[in-house]
Amino acid sequence: MEPVDNRAVVDLLGALAYAELTAFDRLAEDARLAPTLAGRAALARMAAAEIAHHSRLTDRIADLGIDPATAMAPFVSALDAFHNSTRPSTWLEGLVKAYVGDGLAADFYREIAAFLPPADRALVEEVLDDTGHSDFAVREVRAAVSANRKLVGRLSLWARRLVGEAMSESQAVIAEHDRLAELIVAGTGDLGGVAQLIDRITSAHTDRMKTLGLNP
């Protein structure tokens, strides 16, 4: 395997840093949909964890001699577009997005991070580590869908929309960033490797849907 282009590392860290910043925003916004003060605080804590990760990533980008804002800039419009097109209208939609959407994104970043030099790989794995807050989302959604079976279809459809939007935005990002595309192809070996990567991500997504009591 060839040595990784340092700019590809910055691209990945920049994308992830902006993803964490938008995740903060969105979780903070969705917290206001919470039916209880405890739920509101739980989502606020998830948001706080994201911004701590954001800071770790921007510190590393700065260490690599790049201005973090510059590294994040190329990913702002795609990530904003994703969040604008998938704004939850209910508390449960917000939780499904937090669990299913973030899970999918985390798997994707983790797969690419496997091709990075060890220190950066370790950093990405650390910031993607589940902070245990997702247990809260699972508990709330499971309880809601078992109390009201009508929600299963509605929330499953919502999750499929999230995945569709996420796929189309990430394809657009990769298409515009040759270094990221090269990193993925070089890392997986060939197109067969890319297909396996997609299979792994899809299968983990299916598991998450089942965990929530939804139809994959």
CA atoms within 13 A on the CB side of 122: 4
Comparison of 59 and 199: residue with beta carbon closer to a second copy: 59
Which residue is listed with tokens 């009591």? 213
The least distance separating a second copy from the CB of residue 208, rounded to whole angstroms, comes to 25
117 or 132, CB closer to a second copy?
132
Distance from CA of residue 159 to its chain's centroid? 14
Closest CA to 6 of 183, 215, 196: 183
Q: Where are the alpha helices (DSSP H) in the chain?
A: 6-31, 37-63, 68-72, 76-85, 91-96, 102-113, 118-128, 134-147, 150-176, 178-188, 191-212
Q: In the complex, which residues of this chain contact a second copy (CB under 8 A)? A: 18, 21, 24-25, 28-29, 31-32, 36-38, 40-41, 44-45, 47-48, 51-52, 54-55, 58, 68-69, 72-73, 76
Shortest spacing between CB 24 and a second copy, in angstroms = 5
- Residue with smaller CB distance to a second copy, 133 or 177: 133
The nearest distance, CB 33 to a second copy, in angstroms, is: 12
How far apart are the C-alpha atoms of 64 and 70, rounded to whole Å? 12
**Residue whose token pair is 């509101």:** 40
CB of 51 to a second copy, least distance (A): 4
Q: Which residue, 84 or 191, has its beta carbon nearer to a second copy?
A: 84
